[in-house]
Amino acid sequence: MSRAAPIGVFDSGVGGLSVLAELRRALPHEDFVYLGDTAHLPYGARPGEEIRELTGRAVADLHARGVGAVVVACNTASAYSLEHLRARFEMPIIGLVPALKPAVAATRTGVVGVLATPGTLRGTLLQDVIHTFAEPAGVRVLTAVSAELVPLVEAGQADGEQTRAVLREVLAPLVEAGADQLVLGCTHYPFLAGSIRAEFGDTFALLDSGAAVARHTRNVLHHAGLLGDRQERGKVAYLVTGDVDAARPVFDALSADRAEPLHLAGTGG
């Protein structure tokens, strides 16, 4: 692995762009290769073994392209695949952990909500975090689950009326229970912040893992001696496994660096 090697970022689709934005803020001089497995999204309803297989295939593709580390910017993939990936690849593999710890520390009502995908809810990672941070503090954790929200974000409808209708339905029980913190347990969900605010105002403080993962990635690469030493702004190559033309407008709309040209290409993954 070389200090000049780019950093791979993987998600099932466009959700990982929210993490990529934080990574580029924390590591502005590093190059990145972003891979969205748009041919197989959403991951949330797929069996665990299939999620591991798809994630492993994507990380192998990034490894073959010369990345020096991979950030698995997908909560569902992280919940099922991190142990297997770290046993298979010698490069650093960084995953996501739901931002429950800061939510527990910040709650005034003692009730925290987690907006998750079915896959994240089925995995053990969320339950492990609840056992570690919420239960000892006596904080009640409620989950809101939807299989519809990820496809809506992928379709460019994060601010659409159908999306808001789904949010009203799944988050209303959390409001009734008194939750004052909402953990966004999927990298697609930060793109729903505007719709959540429009429907619920300041009822919830919204928390996601992006900034914390970016800081952790910087620390991991620093200790591994993999941070580059150049001063110019890093670049990003974007790859999708599905239809490039269909993905392009959504990637363009959700990319944090809209002033930069979007170089989006397909991959055989």
Which are the catalytic amino acids? 74, 186
Contact 92, 226 (CB under 8 A): yes
**Chain centroid, CA 254 distance in Å:** 13
Establish whether 132 is an annotated binding residue. no
Establish whether 187 is an annotated binding residue. yes
- At 51, list the tokens: 């999620």
Establish whether 44 is an annotated binding residue. yes
Establish whether 219 is an annotated binding residue. no
Handedness of CA 173, 153, 187, 79 (dihedral sign): positive
Establish whether 180 is an annotated binding residue. no
Residues β-bridged to residue 33: 8, 237
Q: What one-character DSSP code corresponds to residue 187?
A: T
CA pair distance 259, 89, nearest whole angstrom = 35
Q: Contacts from 211-215 at CB under 8 Å and sequence distance 24+?
A: 211/22, 211/25, 211/26, 212/99, 213/19, 213/22, 213/23, 213/71, 213/73, 213/94, 213/96, 214/19, 214/22, 214/23, 214/25, 214/26, 214/27, 215/26
Handedness of CA 97, 195, 36, 70 (dihedral sign): negative
Establish whether 12 is an annotated binding residue. yes
Contact 95, 78 (CB under 8 A): yes
Establish whether 109 is an annotated binding residue. no
CA pair distance 238, 33, nearest whole angstrom = 6
CA pair distance 90, 46, nearest whole angstrom = 27
* Binding region for substrate: 11-12, 43-44, 75-76, 187-188
